[in-house]
Structure 1
Amino acid sequence: MSHPSAGPAVPRLLGPAEVRLLAAELDLRPTKQRGQNFVIDANTVRRIVRAAEVTAADTVLEVGPGLGSLTLALLETAGRVVAVEVDPLLAGRLPATIEEFAPGRADRFEVVLADAMRVAEIPGPPPTALVANLPYNVSVPVLLHLLGLLPSLERGLVMVQAEVADRLAAEPGSKVYGVPSVKAAWYADVRRAGSVGRNVFWPAPNVDSGLVAWIRREPPATTATRAEVFAVVDAAFAQRRKALRGVLRGLAGSAEAATAALEAAGVDPMARGESLRVTDFVRIAEALGAVAGPGPDGSVGSSPGEAPA
């Protein structure tokens, strides 16, 4: 018998047998469309929670909990876990899994049936940490959406495709430095936090996985809006091999105006986007505002579509 002062029993974690039993019960066939690869290794999910430095003071937001492997590991430590799941079948089964494997901790858990890209609010206390095995096909837009939506998020650790992890944590000058690198740096200090083997998943993915950790910091002080800065970032990487003078012509109105804005920002007009830090893009956006003037909606120029990551 437990001592009266003891806390709730430690959750049991899912292994390969439990994951396959749950999948069989649900007649679940993991789909590439939703990036469904379920972690079957307890050591991996415990390692993720440790690396994320989750404490009992945290309300953790998890995206794509799937069958609950990482969720149960989070409930070992976190004060509260809110999981956003887009698949109705998985979202419907998750509370029963928590009851079965983490008795006494179900009151710390809530599942939200929603697309993380479209979710507008998270119920309950504002989440302080994001810890997730993000669906690989939408990992960057989901991460950026949540960073913008939830200023309460102080830090996070996410598992993504290895190449995406490299891009998110890349520094200027790197071959993989691009749109995700700069936009993530707007919100946080980002770093690589390790690798994860393919054999800890079912089904095993065709790609390697990486961990990315980040700590929130204030965005750069600027008179430009985030949308204006991000429009400059998108334009700068839309044609990676071209000088900024040319690729920013659309936002500035002409190559001459782009050159004037770049010079006013202290940036070489012949430089390329991959050599600039987020603070450089901020200065360019401010200078474009002064050179081109606001558009009809109050923004500078027109924002091109999202450049390839």
Structure 2
Amino acid sequence: MEQLAKTVYRTPLTTSTFLNNLVGKNVFFKMENQQKTGAFKIRGASYKMSRLTEKELQKGVIAASAGNHAQGVAFAASRRGITAKIYMPENTPDAKIKATENYGAKAVITGASFQEAYEAACIDQKRTGSYFLHPFDDYHVMAGQATIAVEMLMQQPFLDTLIVPVGGGGLISGVAVAAKHMQPNIRIIGVQAEGAKVMHDHFHNLPAPCSRFAGTIAEGIAVKEAGKLTLPIIRHYVDDMITVSESDIATAIVYMLERKKTLVEGAGAAAFAALLANRSTIRSKNCGIIVSGGNMDVSRLGFIQQLAQDGTVSRLA
């Protein structure tokens, strides 16, 4: 944590009486949407960058990202004075692309999914010899994300459950290891979108469907393949993995905007969406929710509101 103290914010852990009453438990929101670059990804990217040598970085860095890792890498690269090229899928919100470029990185928009952008980045890395900074399947990246759990348990030692959004698994891997080390009995629950649930299926040993990816408003956790390093950690340290619908996510975004006066992106709302949709079955007295990011394209708010109204708002009211 000391290595990141000068780079990242110690984000607030907040609560809401209305939302506590709604779900029937004390809920504590770790507001990583208020982090530098608007998401938690800067933690892992910055820590990984701090561990690299000048020789490793002499040809710059390459990364693939749905948006938030891109900004984290771009920021960390600018701090070290090196070049960064980030491959991003075509569905990446404009706000994330522009923010990445504003931090000095070159954004290359390609592919219909994170996986396709990732494959293009790997080809470029082999051609240029730049250092590839993986968004989740890297132990140093996981260690950087783990600082979220450390902060949460320092801010509220009585947390008995942490609900964490899951894409490739870097966040939940770091969080689970750190949290279980500090508090062995704490429960860790991962959340994926129904349209991108590859880690959920691996966790529950479900047969692989013909297509594991159908798209989601939570593009930040839309990953086609499970991490080779993260999956074993998740199987060992995580207690459960659940999914949420698109309307569940939209409903959580609306509640956060109306009740917390804060805008969160789809991935950032996924953990709270899981608690809203499963509040009668998730047993917890003091529940921690990781609000992983807030970099949403505001032009989509109307669509999000309609999606919430068409789905779960009626049954959650």
With normalisation by structure 2, the TM-score equals: 0.29
User: Max radius of gyration: which structure?
Assistant: 1
**Which one has a larger percent helix, Structure 1 or Structure 2?**
2
With normalisation by structure 1, the TM-score equals: 0.30
